[in-house]
A and B are shown apart, each in its own frame.
Chain A
Amino acid sequence: MSARHRSGGEAAATRRPRRPWRELLEAWRDQHFYSFFSSLGRLAARPFTSALTVLVLGLALSLPLFFWLAYDNARAWSGGLREARDVTAFLDPAGDAGAAVALADELRRRDDVAAVLVRSPEQGLAELRQLAGFGAALDVLDGNPLPSVLVVTPRAADPAYDPPLVAELRADPRIDLVQYDAAWRRKLSGILQLGERLVAVVAALLAAATLLVIGNTVRMDIQTRTEEVAVMQLIGASDRFVRRPFLYSGLWYGLLGALCALLVVVAVELALAAPLGRLLGEYAQGAGVRGLGPPLALVVLGAGAALGWIGAFIVVARHLASGRPAR
Chain B
Amino acid sequence: MLRFDNVSKRYVTGLDVLAGLSFEVAAGEMVFVTGHSGAGKSTLLKLVGLLERPTRGQVHVDGADLARVRSRGIPYLRRRIGMVFQDHRLLLDRSVFDNVALPLLITGTPRGEIARRVRAALDKVGLLARERAAPQMLSTGEQQRVGIARAIVGKPPLIIADEPTGNLDPQLSVEIMNLFAEFGEVGTTVLVASHDLFLLKRMRKRVLVLDHGRLIDDFRPGEAA
User: Residues on A close to B: CB < 8 A?
Assistant: 3-4, 7, 9-16, 23-24, 26-28, 30-31, 34, 227-228, 230-239, 241, 324-327
Q: Does B107 contact A (CB under 8 A)?
A: yes
Known contacts being A31-B108, A234-B89, A325-B52, is A10 close to B83, with CB within 8 Å?
no
* Shortest Cβ distance from residue B49 to the other chain A in the assembled complex, whole angstroms: 7
Q: Chain A contacts of B52 at CB under 8 A?
A: 325
CB distance A31 to B105 under 8 Å? yes
- Bound-state Cα–Cα, A23 to B73, Å: 21
Known A-B contacts: A238-B106, A241-B106. Give 6 more (CB < 8 A).
A9-B65, A12-B62, A12-B63, A13-B80, A235-B103, A327-B53
Closest CB pairs A-B (n = 10)? A27-B108, A13-B64, A236-B79, A14-B73, A236-B78, A14-B76, A9-B65, A238-B75, A9-B64, A12-B63
Query: How many residues of chain B have a CB within 8 Å of chain A?
Result: 38
CB distance A13 to B71 under 8 Å? no
Contact check: which of A24, A26, A28, A233 meets B75 at CB < 8 Å?
A: A233
- Bound-state Cα–Cα, A232 to B49, Å: 13
- Bound-state Cα–Cα, A205 to B69, Å: 42
- Bound-state Cα–Cα, A230 to B89, Å: 9
Contact check: which of B49, B65, B73, B107 meets A234 at CB < 8 Å?
A: B49
CB distance A13 to B76 under 8 Å? yes
Write 23 A-B pairs (CB below 8 A) sorted by A numbering.
Answer: A9-B63, A10-B64, A10-B69, A13-B61, A13-B69, A14-B74, A24-B108, A27-B108, A31-B105, A228-B91, A231-B91, A233-B75, A234-B89, A235-B78, A235-B79, A235-B83, A236-B77, A236-B103, A238-B106, A239-B72, A239-B75, A324-B74, A327-B53
- Bound-state Cα–Cα, A227 to B60, Å: 28
Most chain B CB atoms below 10 A, which of A3, A9, A14: A14
CB distance B62 to A13 under 8 Å? yes
* Shortest Cβ distance from residue B162 to the other chain A in the assembled complex, whole angstroms: 11
- Bound-state Cα–Cα, A15 to B106, Å: 15
Q: Chain A contacts of B78 at CB under 8 A?
A: 233-236
CB distance A237 to B64 under 8 Å? no
* Shortest Cβ distance from residue B158 to the other chain A in the assembled complex, whole angstroms: 10
- Bound-state Cα–Cα, A230 to B64, Å: 24
Known contacts being A12-B63, A325-B50, A325-B52, is A235 close to B68, with CB within 8 Å?
no
Q: Does B51 contact A (CB under 8 A)?
A: yes
**Identity of the chain B residue whose Cβ is nearest the Cβ of A234 in the assembled complex:** B83
**Identity of the chain B residue whose Cβ is nearest the Cβ of A241 in the assembled complex:** B106
Q: Chain A contacts of B103 at CB under 8 A?
A: 235-236
Contact check: which of B73, B106, B109, B154 meets A10 at CB < 8 Å?
A: B73
**Identity of the chain A residue whose Cβ is nearest the Cβ of B88 in the assembled complex:** A231
* Shortest Cβ distance from residue B111 to the other chain A in the assembled complex, whole angstroms: 6
Q: Does B102 contact A (CB under 8 A)?
A: yes
Q: Chain B contacts of A241 at CB under 8 A?
A: 75, 106
Contact check: which of A12, A16, A228 meets B64 at CB < 8 Å?
A: A12
- Bound-state Cα–Cα, A232 to B102, Å: 8
**Identity of the chain B residue whose Cβ is nearest the Cβ of A10 in the assembled complex:** B68
CB distance B76 to A34 under 8 Å? no
Q: Scan B23-57; emit 1 where CB is below 8 A from any A CB, else 0.
A: 00000000000000000000000000111110000
CB distance A326 to B102 under 8 Å? no
**Identity of the chain B residue whose Cβ is nearest the Cβ of A321 in the assembled complex:** B71
CB distance A30 to B111 under 8 Å? yes
Q: Chain B contacts of A16 at CB under 8 A?
A: 76
Known contacts being A9-B68, A10-B64, is A237 close to B75, with CB within 8 Å?
yes
Contact check: which of B62, B72, B111, B150 meets A235 at CB < 8 Å?
A: B150
Q: Chain A contacts of B70 at CB under 8 A?
A: 4
CB distance A7 to B106 under 8 Å? no
Most chain B CB atoms below 10 A, which of A3, A10, A239, A241: A10
CB distance B108 to A28 under 8 Å? yes
